[in-house]
Amino acid sequence: MTGAGEVARTAPYPVDDRRIALVDLLDRLLAGGVVVAGEITLGIAGVDLVRISLRALVASVSTLVAETDPDLWDPGPPDGDLPHRELP
């Protein structure tokens, strides 16, 4: 994303942008959106399952990131600052 100031109504949605942090997406897609009684839904248990696997995966991701796709887990620090993303 570019600077916050230049947001305009024509700003495109960040479609298919791998730089969107997965956690931000999960916040919205698993907890937001219209909830309806579909015949199959994730339910609380499913959401928890995702959270657990997220935790497990992120814990092992520091090595993974280096090896595979550097962008995949990039939390996308805006504007120049060095990313602080060392995991303990």
Partner 1 sequence: MTTPGLTWIYAVVPDVADGLLDGMTGVAGEPLRALTAPGLALVVGSVPREDFDERALQQHLADLRWVETAVRAHHRVIAELARTRRTLPLRFATLYRDDRGALSFLRGAGPRLQAALDRVADRDEWGVKAYLDAPVPDAPATGPADPPDGAAAADDRPGTAYLLRRRAQRDDRARRFEQAHERARQIHAALADRADEAAEHPLQSAEASGRAAPMLLNGAYLVEHARAAEFGAAVTELGRRTTGVRVELTGPWPPYSFVEIDAEPVEPAEPAGPVTGSAPAEGG
Provide the minimum distance between the beta carbon of 63 and partner 1 in the complex, in angstroms, as a whole number.
13
Closest CA to 61 of 33, 30, 21: 21
- CA–CA distance from 76 to each of 37, 45, 46, 50, 64 (Å)? 35, 29, 27, 22, 17
Provide the minimum distance between the beta carbon of 8 and partner 1 in the complex, in angstroms, as a whole number.
6
Per the CB < 8 A criterion, the answer to whether 76 and 66 are in contact is: no
Catalog residues that contact partner 1 under the rule CB under 8 A: 1, 3-9, 11-16, 18, 20-42, 46, 49-50, 52-59, 61, 73, 75, 77-78, 81, 84-88
Provide the minimum distance between the beta carbon of 42 and partner 1 in the complex, in angstroms, as a whole number.
5
